[in-house]
Protein backbone atom coordinates (compact mmCIF):
# COMPACT_ATOMS: atom_id res chain seq x y z
CA UNK A 1 0.00 0.00 0.00
CA UNK A 2 2.86 2.35 0.82
CA UNK A 3 4.54 1.57 -2.49
CA UNK A 4 1.28 2.23 -4.33
CA UNK A 5 0.82 5.55 -2.58
CA UNK A 6 4.41 6.54 -3.42
CA UNK A 7 3.92 5.55 -7.05
CA UNK A 8 0.73 7.58 -7.23
CA UNK A 9 2.51 10.56 -5.72
CA UNK A 10 5.30 10.32 -8.28
CA UNK A 11 2.79 10.04 -11.10
CA UNK A 12 0.86 13.08 -9.86
CA UNK A 13 4.08 15.07 -9.63
CA UNK A 14 5.07 14.00 -13.14
CA UNK A 15 1.67 14.96 -14.49
CA UNK A 16 1.80 18.39 -12.87
CA UNK A 17 5.34 18.92 -14.15
CA UNK A 18 4.37 18.00 -17.70
CA UNK A 19 1.33 20.26 -17.52
CA UNK A 20 3.49 23.15 -16.30
CA UNK A 21 6.09 22.62 -19.01
CA UNK A 22 3.41 22.36 -21.67
CA UNK A 23 1.75 25.54 -20.43
CA UNK A 24 4.98 27.56 -20.28
CA UNK A 25 6.38 26.15 -23.53
CA UNK A 26 9.69 24.53 -24.40
CA UNK A 27 12.48 25.53 -26.72
CA UNK A 28 13.41 23.30 -29.65
CA UNK A 29 16.42 24.98 -31.22
CA UNK A 30 17.27 21.98 -33.37
CA UNK A 31 13.96 22.07 -35.20
CA UNK A 32 13.58 25.81 -35.49
CA UNK A 33 9.96 25.43 -36.64
CA UNK A 34 7.20 27.28 -34.89
CA UNK A 35 4.60 24.70 -35.85
CA UNK A 36 6.74 21.91 -34.38
CA UNK A 37 7.17 23.83 -31.13
CA UNK A 38 3.45 24.49 -30.87
CA UNK A 39 2.63 20.85 -31.54
CA UNK A 40 5.13 19.67 -28.91
CA UNK A 41 3.69 22.08 -26.36
CA UNK A 42 0.16 20.85 -27.00
CA UNK A 43 1.20 17.20 -26.76
CA UNK A 44 3.09 17.86 -23.52
CA UNK A 45 0.14 19.66 -21.98
CA UNK A 46 -2.28 16.92 -22.99
CA UNK A 47 0.03 14.21 -21.69
CA UNK A 48 0.36 15.96 -18.34
CA UNK A 49 -3.39 16.39 -18.01
CA UNK A 50 -4.02 12.78 -18.99
CA UNK A 51 -1.55 11.39 -16.45
CA UNK A 52 -2.74 13.67 -13.67
CA UNK A 53 -6.43 12.95 -14.30
CA UNK A 54 -5.88 9.20 -14.52
CA UNK A 55 -3.99 9.07 -11.23
CA UNK A 56 -6.45 11.28 -9.34
CA UNK A 57 -9.53 9.39 -10.55
CA UNK A 58 -7.87 6.00 -10.08
CA UNK A 59 -6.86 6.77 -6.50
CA UNK A 60 -10.20 8.38 -5.62
CA UNK A 61 -12.44 5.65 -7.07
CA UNK A 62 -10.29 2.55 -7.44
CA UNK A 63 -11.76 2.01 -10.91
CA UNK A 64 -9.28 1.01 -13.65
CA UNK A 65 -11.82 1.93 -16.31
CA UNK A 66 -12.45 5.24 -14.56
CA UNK A 67 -8.73 6.01 -14.67
CA UNK A 68 -8.65 5.11 -18.38
CA UNK A 69 -11.62 7.34 -19.16
CA UNK A 70 -10.12 10.16 -17.10
CA UNK A 71 -6.88 9.87 -19.07
CA UNK A 72 -8.83 10.02 -22.33
CA UNK A 73 -10.71 13.08 -21.05
CA UNK A 74 -7.51 14.79 -19.99
CA UNK A 75 -6.03 14.16 -23.43
CA UNK A 76 -9.07 15.22 -25.47
CA UNK A 77 -10.72 18.02 -23.52
CA UNK A 78 -8.07 20.70 -24.25
CA UNK A 79 -8.76 20.33 -27.96
CA UNK A 80 -12.52 20.04 -27.47
CA UNK A 81 -12.81 23.09 -25.23
CA UNK A 82 -10.09 25.17 -26.84
CA UNK A 83 -10.99 28.73 -27.67
CA UNK A 84 -10.27 30.65 -30.81
CA UNK A 85 -6.52 30.90 -30.22
CA UNK A 86 -5.41 28.49 -32.92
CA UNK A 87 -8.16 29.51 -35.33
CA UNK A 88 -7.24 33.17 -34.97
CA UNK A 89 -3.58 32.27 -35.39
CA UNK A 90 -4.36 30.55 -38.70
CA UNK A 91 -6.29 33.59 -39.96
CA UNK A 92 -3.51 35.89 -38.78
CA UNK A 93 -0.96 33.79 -40.66
CA UNK A 94 -2.97 34.13 -43.88
CA UNK A 95 -3.14 37.89 -43.50
CA UNK A 96 0.58 37.98 -42.72
CA UNK A 97 1.36 36.10 -45.93
CA UNK A 98 -0.77 38.61 -47.83
CA UNK A 99 1.04 41.53 -46.25
CA UNK A 100 4.45 40.03 -46.99
CA UNK A 101 3.50 39.42 -50.62
CA UNK A 102 2.56 43.09 -50.92
CA UNK A 103 5.88 44.06 -49.32
CA UNK A 104 7.75 42.01 -51.90
CA UNK A 105 5.73 43.57 -54.71
CA UNK A 106 6.41 47.12 -53.54
CA UNK A 107 10.11 46.44 -52.89
CA UNK A 108 10.60 44.86 -56.31
CA UNK A 109 8.88 47.84 -57.89
CA UNK A 110 11.88 49.88 -56.76
CA UNK A 111 14.18 47.98 -59.15
CA UNK A 112 15.20 45.39 -56.55
CA UNK A 113 15.66 41.71 -57.40
CA UNK A 114 13.68 38.95 -55.73
CA UNK A 115 16.45 37.87 -53.36
CA UNK A 116 17.22 41.47 -52.43
CA UNK A 117 13.51 42.07 -51.79
CA UNK A 118 13.29 39.06 -49.48
CA UNK A 119 16.31 40.19 -47.48
CA UNK A 120 14.99 43.76 -47.29
CA UNK A 121 11.56 42.68 -46.01
CA UNK A 122 12.87 40.22 -43.40
CA UNK A 123 13.20 42.74 -40.52
CA UNK A 124 9.76 44.27 -41.15
CA UNK A 125 7.77 41.21 -42.21
CA UNK A 126 4.40 40.71 -40.46
CA UNK A 127 4.92 39.30 -36.98
CA UNK A 128 3.20 35.88 -37.47
CA UNK A 129 5.77 34.91 -40.14
CA UNK A 130 8.67 37.21 -39.28
CA UNK A 131 10.79 34.42 -37.83
CA UNK A 132 10.32 32.26 -40.93
CA UNK A 133 11.10 35.15 -43.29
CA UNK A 134 14.24 35.98 -41.30
CA UNK A 135 15.30 32.34 -41.52
CA UNK A 136 14.70 32.44 -45.28
CA UNK A 137 16.88 35.54 -45.60
CA UNK A 138 19.70 33.84 -43.71
CA UNK A 139 19.33 30.66 -45.73
CA UNK A 140 19.71 32.59 -48.98
CA UNK A 141 23.30 33.38 -48.05
CA UNK A 142 24.33 29.76 -48.54
CA UNK A 143 21.58 28.12 -50.63
CA UNK A 144 19.85 28.69 -53.93
CA UNK A 145 16.61 30.61 -54.05
CA UNK A 146 14.15 27.87 -55.08
CA UNK A 147 15.13 25.28 -52.41
CA UNK A 148 15.17 28.02 -49.78
CA UNK A 149 11.65 29.08 -50.74
CA UNK A 150 10.39 25.51 -50.53
CA UNK A 151 11.92 25.13 -47.07
CA UNK A 152 10.24 28.40 -46.10
CA UNK A 153 6.88 27.03 -47.25
CA UNK A 154 7.37 23.95 -45.07
CA UNK A 155 8.14 26.13 -42.06
CA UNK A 156 5.06 28.30 -42.49
CA UNK A 157 2.94 25.22 -43.37
CA UNK A 158 0.00 27.13 -44.82
CA UNK A 159 -1.76 26.54 -48.17
CA UNK A 160 -1.95 30.27 -48.87
CA UNK A 161 1.78 30.58 -48.38
CA UNK A 162 2.23 27.70 -50.83
CA UNK A 163 0.54 29.80 -53.53
CA UNK A 164 2.88 32.73 -52.95
CA UNK A 165 5.94 30.49 -52.79
CA UNK A 166 4.91 28.69 -55.98
CA UNK A 167 4.75 32.03 -57.78
CA UNK A 168 8.17 33.01 -56.41
CA UNK A 169 9.70 29.66 -57.38
CA UNK A 170 8.35 30.02 -60.93
CA UNK A 171 9.79 33.50 -61.09
CA UNK A 172 13.16 32.25 -59.83
CA UNK A 173 13.39 29.25 -62.16
CA UNK A 174 11.63 30.49 -65.31
CA UNK A 175 11.95 34.27 -65.16
CA UNK A 176 8.21 34.84 -64.88
CA UNK A 177 6.99 38.20 -66.09
CA UNK A 178 4.67 40.59 -64.24
CA UNK A 179 5.47 39.01 -60.88
CA UNK A 180 4.39 42.15 -59.06
CA UNK A 181 0.86 41.95 -60.44
CA UNK A 182 0.68 38.26 -59.57
CA UNK A 183 1.79 38.92 -55.99
CA UNK A 184 -0.82 41.64 -55.68
CA UNK A 185 -3.56 39.31 -56.91
CA UNK A 186 -2.45 36.57 -54.52
CA UNK A 187 -2.40 39.01 -51.63
CA UNK A 188 -5.95 40.12 -52.39
CA UNK A 189 -7.09 36.49 -52.67
CA UNK A 190 -5.46 35.72 -49.32
CA UNK A 191 -7.24 38.62 -47.64
CA UNK A 192 -10.56 37.49 -49.12
CA UNK A 193 -9.92 34.00 -47.78
CA UNK A 194 -9.13 35.37 -44.32
CA UNK A 195 -12.36 37.37 -44.33
CA UNK A 196 -14.34 34.31 -45.39
CA UNK A 197 -12.80 32.21 -42.62
CA UNK A 198 -13.67 34.87 -40.03
CA UNK A 199 -17.29 34.75 -41.18
CA UNK A 200 -17.33 30.96 -40.99
CA UNK A 201 -15.82 30.97 -37.51
CA UNK A 202 -18.43 33.48 -36.36
CA UNK A 203 -21.19 31.18 -37.57
CA UNK A 204 -19.64 28.24 -35.74
CA UNK A 205 -19.34 30.12 -32.43
CA UNK A 206 -22.85 29.16 -31.30
CA UNK A 207 -22.20 25.48 -31.97
CA UNK A 208 -18.92 25.60 -30.01
CA UNK A 209 -20.71 27.23 -27.09
CA UNK A 210 -23.31 24.45 -27.11
CA UNK A 211 -20.54 21.83 -27.11
CA UNK A 212 -18.88 23.44 -24.09
CA UNK A 213 -22.20 23.55 -22.21
CA UNK A 214 -22.88 19.87 -22.94
CA UNK A 215 -19.41 18.76 -21.91
CA UNK A 216 -19.44 20.92 -18.79
CA UNK A 217 -22.87 19.68 -17.70
CA UNK A 218 -21.92 16.04 -18.23
CA UNK A 219 -18.63 16.34 -16.37
CA UNK A 220 -20.22 18.37 -13.58
CA UNK A 221 -22.95 15.78 -13.08
CA UNK A 222 -20.42 12.94 -12.86
CA UNK A 223 -18.29 14.89 -10.38
CA UNK A 224 -21.30 15.82 -8.26
CA UNK A 225 -22.41 12.18 -8.03
CA UNK A 226 -18.91 11.05 -7.10
CA UNK A 227 -18.61 13.64 -4.33
CA UNK A 228 -22.15 14.00 -2.97
CA UNK A 229 -23.67 10.57 -3.53
CA UNK A 230 -20.90 7.99 -3.78
CA UNK A 231 -23.29 5.15 -2.97
CA UNK A 232 -25.22 5.80 -6.17
CA UNK A 233 -22.11 4.76 -8.11
CA UNK A 234 -21.51 1.65 -6.00
CA UNK A 235 -22.62 -0.83 -8.71
CA UNK A 236 -19.64 0.24 -10.81
CA UNK A 237 -17.26 -1.29 -8.24
CA UNK A 238 -17.88 -4.80 -9.60
CA UNK A 239 -16.34 -6.30 -12.69
CA UNK A 240 -19.65 -6.11 -14.56
CA UNK A 241 -20.02 -2.52 -13.44
CA UNK A 242 -16.60 -1.70 -14.85
CA UNK A 243 -17.59 -3.25 -18.17
CA UNK A 244 -20.77 -1.19 -18.26
CA UNK A 245 -18.78 1.93 -17.32
CA UNK A 246 -16.47 1.26 -20.25
CA UNK A 247 -19.45 1.00 -22.62
CA UNK A 248 -21.11 4.15 -21.28
CA UNK A 249 -17.84 6.07 -21.29
CA UNK A 250 -17.12 4.96 -24.84
CA UNK A 251 -20.52 6.21 -25.98
CA UNK A 252 -19.96 9.58 -24.35
CA UNK A 253 -16.47 9.81 -25.82
CA UNK A 254 -17.79 9.01 -29.30
CA UNK A 255 -20.48 11.68 -29.00
CA UNK A 256 -17.94 14.28 -27.80
CA UNK A 257 -15.63 13.48 -30.71
CA UNK A 258 -18.54 13.83 -33.11
CA UNK A 259 -19.48 17.20 -31.59
CA UNK A 260 -15.87 18.33 -31.86
CA UNK A 261 -15.74 17.47 -35.56
CA UNK A 262 -18.89 19.52 -36.11
CA UNK A 263 -17.08 22.65 -34.92
CA UNK A 264 -13.72 21.99 -36.60
CA UNK A 265 -13.35 23.08 -40.23
CA UNK A 266 -11.49 20.82 -42.62
CA UNK A 267 -8.02 22.18 -43.28
CA UNK A 268 -7.10 22.44 -46.97
CA UNK A 269 -4.20 20.33 -48.17
CA UNK A 270 -0.81 21.85 -48.89
CA UNK A 271 -0.21 21.11 -52.55
CA UNK A 272 3.41 22.31 -52.50
CA UNK A 273 4.29 19.98 -49.63
CA UNK A 274 2.65 17.04 -51.42
CA UNK A 275 4.55 17.86 -54.59
CA UNK A 276 7.87 17.92 -52.74
CA UNK A 277 7.12 14.60 -51.03
CA UNK A 278 6.30 12.96 -54.35
CA UNK A 279 9.43 14.33 -55.95
CA UNK A 280 11.62 13.06 -53.11
CA UNK A 281 9.96 9.63 -53.28
CA UNK A 282 10.98 9.33 -56.94
Q: pLDDT means per 10 residues in the chain (282 residues)? A: 43 53 44 56 79 84 87 79 69 89 86 83 91 91 89 87 87 74 85 83 78 82 82 86 90 82 71 51 41
What tens digit of pLDDT does each residue of 172-181 get?
A: 777 666 777 8
What contacts 168, CB < 8 A, 6 or more positions away? 104, 114, 145, 149, 179
Please give the pLDDT value at position 32.
Answer: 40
Please give the pLDDT value at position 276.
Answer: 47
Please give the pLDDT value at position 247.
Answer: 92
What tens digit of pLDDT does each residue of 225-264 get?
A: 877 887 888 888 888 989 998 998 888 888 888 877 777 7
Amino acid sequence: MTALAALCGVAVGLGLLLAFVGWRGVELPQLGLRSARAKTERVTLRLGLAVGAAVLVGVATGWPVGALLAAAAGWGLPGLLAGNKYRNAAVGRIEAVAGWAEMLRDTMAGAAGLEQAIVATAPVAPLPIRTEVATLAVRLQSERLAPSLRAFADEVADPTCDLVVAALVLAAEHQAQRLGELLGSLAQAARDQATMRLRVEASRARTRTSVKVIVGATGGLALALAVLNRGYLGPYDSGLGQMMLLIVGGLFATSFIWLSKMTTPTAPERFLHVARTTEMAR
